[in-house]
Structure 1
Amino acid sequence: MSLKFSRDHEWVDVSNPDSAIVGITLHAQDALGDVVFVDLPEVGASFKQGDVAGVVESVKAAADVYMPVDGEIVEINEALRDDPSLANTAPLAEGWFFKVKLAVPSQLDDLLDEAAYEAFAKEA
């Protein structure tokens, strides 16, 4: 798994050069608390970087899930829809949100590596 991170607290698995897997970071799920509902985008929907692509609701708050790159949704995590707590118990694994076909792969270069994200999250 090769991860990049957005400043909006999404992680992006960039192991595949044509598509990416997106989820929320450990920092995000810690701040939210127990996740009770997720609103995932429709397969086939296209988004620009920074667009709201979904919503995650917890016992404490609701938060938008932002699209970290331009692209088209090619798959959503139905298991997460059925069991939103996966965003807490396995945010970097089974708790992924959606897969996106990259429209502008070079946008991945603008995302943070793990060390830079950790430094950023400490300040957030």
Structure 2
Amino acid sequence: MNGSYKPGRTRGTALRPERADLLDGLAKNIAVISVDFMQYAESYYFYDGDDRTSLASQVDGALTLADLAAVSDDPAVRQSGNVLKAALEDLAAILDERFLRTAGTPRQTLTAYRLDHGQHAGSPT
């Protein structure tokens, strides 16, 4: 997921209805990570080592999933996408307040997080 998705482009085929549970699980895990950053600030500075499991490397994919869910015809997928988007916005707010200080949008903050952890746009994941 390289960030080239434009909302509205795939209306009706964005995500299948059975994917709502996946989005909910992802949102829950991002909320846990947000709490970890609040309680254990030092975790921000740990090197993940593997791009496949690095939050910094995968955050664009989570943003894309939230965008895809927003244009789904299925109300459960749209709702789960909204929950995921809110979790990502909360994560961005915590990262910005505690570490990055970009004063940007959530997407800008999460991009700054990715770049701060050595992940560049178009990097293979």
TM-score normalised over the length of structure 2: 0.25
Larger % of strand: which? 1
Greater Rg over alpha carbons, structure: 2
TM-score normalised over the length of structure 1: 0.25
Larger % of helix: which? 2
